[in-house]
Amino acid sequence: MRIELSNGNLHLRGGQTLRVRDGIGSRVCCLSGTLWVTEENRPRDILLGPGACHTLSQRGIALVQSLGETDVAIA
């Protein structure tokens, strides 16, 4: 399945992964639950809890994975 999303909210089940290609400048916000974010060519991963956001800063692929039921906003 391929989903294209420029802006919006998603509900992810535990372990589901959202792949973002060339999303530099996009803002990923955790609305509930916990998100794990890793960006290509970035040495450290990011954990986001409810209310926390992260702006993608690298070109290439970013992976956003839910660590349980999670609501996420992409802008």
Question: Which CATH number goes with the domain that contains 65?
Answer: 2.60.120.10
Q: Which residues pair with 20 in a beta bridge?
A: 62
Residue 2 lies in a domain: no
Residue 48 lies in a domain: yes
Residue 29 lies in a domain: yes
Pairing outcome for strands 8-12 and 70-74: antiparallel
Question: Number of structural domains, the chain?
Answer: 1
Per the structure, the complete domain to which residue 17 belongs is given by: 13-74
The helix or strand, by DSSP H or E, that contains position 19, with its residue range, turns out to be strand 17-21
43-68 pLDDT tens trace? 999 999 999 999 999 889 999 999 99
Q: How far is CA 36 from CA 3, 42, 66, in A?
A: 19, 14, 6
* Residue 1: per-residue pLDDT: 42
Average pLDDT, integer, range 7-28: 88
Instruction: Write down the pTM of the prediction.
Output: 0.86
Residue 46 lies in a domain: yes
